[in-house]
Amino acid sequence: SSPEEMVSVYHFWTIVLAIAGMVLYFICFKSTRENVVRIVAQPSLKISLQTLKRNRPLFMLCIGALCVLISTFAVSASSLFYVRYVLNDTGLFTVLVLVQNLVGTVASAPLVPGMVARIGKKNTFLIGALLGTCGYLLFFWVSVWSLPVALVALAIASIGQGVTMTVMWALEADTVEYGEYLTGVRIEGLTYSLFSFTRKCGQAIGGSIPAFILGLSGYIANQAQTPEVITGIRTSIALVPCGFMLLAFVIIWFYPLTDKKFKEIVVEIDNRKKVQQQLINDITS
């Protein structure tokens, strides 16, 4: 494929995915209703920050999400170099992108609800991270001698990555309840903002890592690359994502907020609110 054709493919899929995203967001907004009953007024920024810094599960989840996003965007940023200089066929770029994004997303999304129901959110994340780690490790070893096996390995890694990317949002919601349980103050807005900012940092770091690796390995554009550069490309598209998925696995392994603990927290919060509401009714009656 020529550069012009690749640009057209990029533009086409960007428009398609943007429209699909807008439709899904609209459906979400129209079908979602707030079910939180607030007994106290919105807390001040000072109180919110004090509450935030005590939320250990949130910070662990943010670091885990940072690792997953670094892994994801390191692969994306390395893909074009991989097909051009390792596979010597830029026509395979579309195939690689489809395996990374479409196959991973479509295959992983239906799996998550059933996995969460059977083994819980934390274990679902761990399985996804382990799949990603093993898939990228296999991808590194076979990425130069067997394209079909490499694509299968990449699909496995992408499915694992998709599982973690999906379930981390459910884990983030749990940390809101944990913060309220710990301090009595509910700050879902600030909690989400920190989580979202961490993800953006992961995107930026992951997208820049291949550039650093290629620069250190002696990459020169539009020329036949040395074995060191080829190894650098394979490292940035496979070993770097593998390492960060493994790091995410280790971090969430020690994540303290299990589904059982979360259910206990929700019951405790509900009981507190009932007592608070009863006191308010007694005072005002």
Q: Kindly report the CATH number assigned to the domain that includes residue 92.
A: 1.20.1250.20
**Within a domain: 21:** no
What is the domain range of residue 118? 45-270
**Within a domain: 74:** yes
Q: What percent of the chain has pLDDT over 70?
A: 95
**Within a domain: 15:** no
- Measured distance CA(259)–CA(57) in Å, rounded: 13
Mean pLDDT, residues 258-265 taken together = 91
**Within a domain: 1:** no
> 230: pLDDT confidence band, cut at 50, 70 and 90?
very high
Would you tell me how many other CB atoms lie within 10 Å of the CB of residue 93? 19
Q: Give pLDDT, residue 41.
A: 59
**Within a domain: 97:** yes
pLDDT at 179 over 60: yes
User: Total domain count for the chain?
Assistant: 1
**Within a domain: 136:** yes
Q: Give pLDDT, residue 67.
A: 98
Q: Which of 170-179, 198-207, 218-227, 232-241 has the lowest mean pLDDT?
A: 218-227
**Within a domain: 81:** yes
Q: Give pLDDT, residue 285.
A: 67
**Within a domain: 283:** no
What is the pTM assigned to this prediction? 0.84
> 37: pLDDT confidence band, cut at 50, 70 and 90?
low
> 63: pLDDT confidence band, cut at 50, 70 and 90?
very high
